[in-house]
Amino acid sequence: MKKIGILGSGTWGTALANLLTGIGHQVTLWSKFPHEKDALEKNLTHPNLPGVKLNSKIYFSTEIVESVRDQDIIVFATPSVFVRETALLACPFLSGEQIIVTVAKGIEEGTLLTTSEAIRDTLKEKNLPIVALSGPTHAEEVALELPSCIVAACEDLKYAEIIQNVFYSSKCLRVYTNQDILGVEICGALKNIIAIATGMSDGLGYGDNAKAALITRGLREIICIGLAMGANVETFSGLTGIGDIVVTATSAQSRNYQAGYLLGQGYSLQETLAKVGMVVEGLNCLKAAIALEKKYDLSLPIIDSVYRIVEGKMAVREAVSALFARKKQNEINFY
């Protein structure tokens, strides 16, 4: 049994708390907001996890100290834009024997750091091992104990294997390891933008052909960035690459797909965010993706188009026309 502190009581953090408690671990689920913590503790339900009864053994807290100190594993499950802020809160209570796990998916605007890199940058003096846990896993399905696969990624395989063993559930969650944490995190962050694009396509009423093209050409754009940054190309054909793109870009459960669908139907960005009602990580990642495109002198037409639409510089149908008007080229062209 491990003592695990999960920082963030959104759908993913709560689903993991339920899973890990059911396996037999001692879990503390931290929320920054007292009203949110009180509702979870009282009702043992999460408003965005319908049909899921939370394990009564989960310990709910708003105190960062008891959620971090003396825990074996600390899981960062906040939206990516709050990872650095949360790491600053946790830092005074961390010790050298703990393992950090991040399930947040994003690239920090300005620094262009992945979430694990942003955590490491914040916790400089702690020098703790950090594992990225990522893959094609809707929180709703994990919470319902439906079969899923995920990847524990760390340059030091020893720590990836520890997390593999801790999170493994013979009932519903198979965990693989990967030492290419950079590639895993790039996939996890950028696939959200492609999911916005496929949502837009469906919102316009286009068919499966268009969606398949966006997924495959979108994957090519993610690979372009990954290779330029030094990631392993094989990662992109795995669970965190193709797997995560497929589940995020084709499912109505995906908030990134939902946002794209609404934008494709003509809703404004503000209306879209209000209707989705949860953080849309792909929108938060757009400026960082464009900055990476410029930094490495790449051509990322799908990501460019989503950015222009979201920034109000181009209408959705206009973006489609522009994509089809591009010069002819060979398919296998990564740069």
Q: What pTM was computed for the model?
A: 0.94
**Which residue in 323, 147, 107 sits closest to 231, CA to CA?**
107
pLDDT at 333 over 90: no
Q: Which residues pair with 177 in a beta bridge?
A: 152
CA distances from 306 to 140, 262, 287 (A): 26, 13, 11
- Give, for 41, the enclosing helix (H) or strand (E): helix 34-43
pLDDT at 335 over 90: no
Q: Read off the pLDDT of residues 134-165 as tens digits, 9 standing for 90 and up.
A: 999 999 999 999 999 999 999 999 999 999 99
Q: Read off the pLDDT of residues 7-43 as tens digits, 9 standing for 90 and up.
A: 999 999 999 999 999 999 999 999 999 999 999 999 9
> What share of the chain in percent tops pLDDT 70?
99
Token pair for 289: 């993706």
Residue 334: predicted pLDDT: 57
Q: Read off the pLDDT of residues 181-211 as tens digits, 9 standing for 90 and up.
A: 999 999 999 999 999 999 999 999 999 999 9
Q: Read off the pLDDT of residues 271-313 as tens digits, 9 standing for 90 and up.
A: 999 999 888 999 999 999 999 999 999 999 999 999 999 999 9
Task: Please list the alpha-helical segments (H only) found in 123-180.
Answer: 139-143, 157-167
Residue 330: predicted pLDDT: 86
Q: Which domains does the chain possess? A: 3-179 (3.40.50.720), 182-324 (1.10.1040.10)
Backbone φ, ψ for residue 50 (5° rounding):
-60, 140
Rg of the Cα atoms in the chain: 19
Would you say how long the chain is, in residues?
335
User: Catalytic: 287?
Assistant: no
Q: Which of 124, 191, 294, 313 is catalytic?
A: 191
